[in-house]
Amino acid sequence: MHDHAAEASLFKRRALFTFVCVLLLIGVLIGNLYHLQITAFKDYTTRSNDNRIRVIPIAPSRGLIYDRNGKLLAENQPFYSLEVVPEKVKDIPAMLDELSKVIPISDEERQDFTDALKFHRRFKPLTLKSRLTEEQVAEFSVNQYKFDGVSVEAGLDRFYPQGMLLTHVLGYVARINNRDRTTLEQAGKWSDYAATNNIGKQGIEKFYEALLHGKPGHMEEEVNNLGRHIRTLKVEPPEPGQDLYLTLDLELQKKAMELLAGRRGSIVAIDPRDGGILAMASSPSYDPNQFVHGISSKAYSHLLNSPDRPLINRATQGQYAPASTIKPIMALMGLDDNIVTEKTRVWDPGYWQIPGVERKYRDWKRWGHGWVDVYGAIVHSCDIYFYELAYKSGIDRISNFMGQFGFGQNTGIDIFEESAGNMPSRDWKRLKYNQPWYIGDTISIGIGQGYWTTTPLQLATAVTILADKGKHYTPHLLRSIKDATSKIDSPVDQQPPIVLNDQHHWDEIAEAMRQTADRSRFKDAPYTAAMKTGTAQVFSVAEDEKYDADTIDEKLRDNALIVAYAPFENPKIVLAVVLENAGWGGANAGPVAREMLDDFMLRDKWELKHAEQ
């Protein structure tokens, strides 16, 4: 017999258990549904869209660069490339054979294309040939109907219309390499370059990369499970980079490079009223356009190994003994520290000796200048006067005073390629050579020789302080920035001025430099000027030997230097010229400075005369 009560009880227990399990499973299901539909809705929507929607970055147009007068220095030029969609081409080898009859395709280009096909999605375009000429584009357009799946696509590339004229100022853009990528990733900016191939490598292009690059846009397109395009959903246009207007005067830059043609050297011109660079030329130079598309190893090796070092920006990286160009600043130090006065005279028999020492330090004029005061010492560049001044001043005083004029320091110019030069001191020599400082070292420093080195930009900057009687502006290349809505002037960075014990000493030195100009290179100029030349030894000549340029190697000959400014009453331009191994400063650098100042000071008169004719 069956125990119906027991069976009923068992059934109830099993039914209850089953019901509870069903409720629990329904609860789990509802919980999962809640999680999917509410809690994780955005996450799964994003994942779904990632599979359905492809985001394609759009590169921004790089900002343009102009000179102070609005003349274009760096632009973006269209380029054309030949693109192939493989799945639309029935027979690729046959297509390549036929296409080569219309547009020349090298064996290397053909092989690169064939190799790339192995790892490329066949429905996406692949570049076959880049940098088509306009003639090639026209030729293909006429025959395009023969080539299904082949098309010409346009893009923008950087172009420098002035060629090698401004290479060391503008720098250049080139392909992003692994080092660039690492830097961008560390700065959290790699995503901004997803659609960009090039980045600023040197000069203005590198220093102001953040302004010039712009912000990328993007396009959202719907794709199927194979990644094929279905439709475009949204387009966010990129923001173009900002245009830069520089302080450079293109015509003056052209003049500087014209005067340096065939020579090694540099010319720097500064507006002393605000520190703006008017011209900054370094010779020899090179064409930056060859770096934009990728320079060949052979061409780069030629530049890198050239004995003339064209890759070096001599204006900011070339280090030269300043020679006699710093004598006005040395004299200013002597006057302000009351080591000498306007009336102090020194006897110059053609040599000078440290008391108690037999060695003779020669004057450039072997028979001497006789009695000279501070004006005569600067006008005639009397070495003996400055030997005596250096001896009485000592290296500590000289080093500290010259540091105020920026020697031995970076100027702060807005490009990264700059050397600090060397303003020697006791501590520097101890650290560099583990040797004490000798009084003979100080004597050489007194005429801008010995361990003292400076760049042409440093030299020009120091003279702007002289010309402006102590005012000090950081030299700069950027004048203003322009975006889609406005043009904003770049702020001028004025440093604390140099304050002398007696401000009248500025006028005394300026007068000595004016007399120097009036008695030499600028005596017939239709404007007033001030100047000081220099002839820097590249190697030391023994005490009893005579320097003979005709018997020594060309690269061991003296460097020729000059600093100048005009007009004397209210300076608008300061100039520093360094010509490597050119010889006597006045005879070789002097004419260059005169032509540069003529070009700047008389330009309005020449233009007016030309207009009248």
Q: 363 a known binding residue?
A: yes
> Distance (Å, rounded) from C-alpha 16 to C-alpha 10?
10
Mean pLDDT of 111-129: 77
218 shares a domain with 319: no
Domain shared by 64 and 213, yes or no: yes
Say which of 266, 285, 324, 425 is annotated catalytic: 324
Is 369 annotated in some ligand binding site? yes
Task: Calculate the CA 56 to chain-centre distance.
Answer: 32
In tens, the pLDDT along 242-257 reads 999 999 999 999 999 9
Which of 196, 224, 246 represents a domain boundary (last residue)?
246
- The mean predicted confidence, pLDDT, of the chain is 87
The angle subtended at Cα 149 by Cα 143 and Cα 152, nearest 5°, is: 60
- End-to-end Cα distance, the chain: 138
* Residue 4 belongs to a domain: no
Q: Are strands 53-58 and 217-223 parallel, antiparallel or unpaired?
A: antiparallel
Q: Is residue 135 part of a domain?
A: yes
Domain final residue pick, 246, 279, 310: 246
Mean pLDDT of all residues in 432-452: 95
Q: Among 226, 246, 266, where does a domain finish?
A: 246
Find out whether 21 is annotated in a ligand binding site.
Answer: no
Establish if 157 belongs to a structural domain: yes
Q: Do residues 210 and 257 both lie within one domain?
A: no
Tally the domains of the chain: 2
Give the 3-state secondary structure of residue 237: coil
Residue 81 lies in a domain: yes
55-94 confidence digits (pLDDT tens): 667 778 899 999 999 999 999 988 888 888 888 888 888 8
Residue 324 annotated among the catalytic residues of the structure: yes
Is residue 93 domain-shared with residue 111, that is, in the same domain?
yes
Domain range for residue 398? Answer: 250-482+489-608
Q: Identify the weakest region by mean pLDDT among 57-61, 477-481, 579-583.
A: 57-61
Indicate whether 19 belongs to any domain. Answer: no
Token pair for residue 30?
A: 């509802």
Is residue 170's pLDDT more than 90?
A: yes
What is the average per-residue pLDDT within 365-371?
A: 91
Rounded to whole angstroms, how far apart are CA atoms 344 and 339?
9
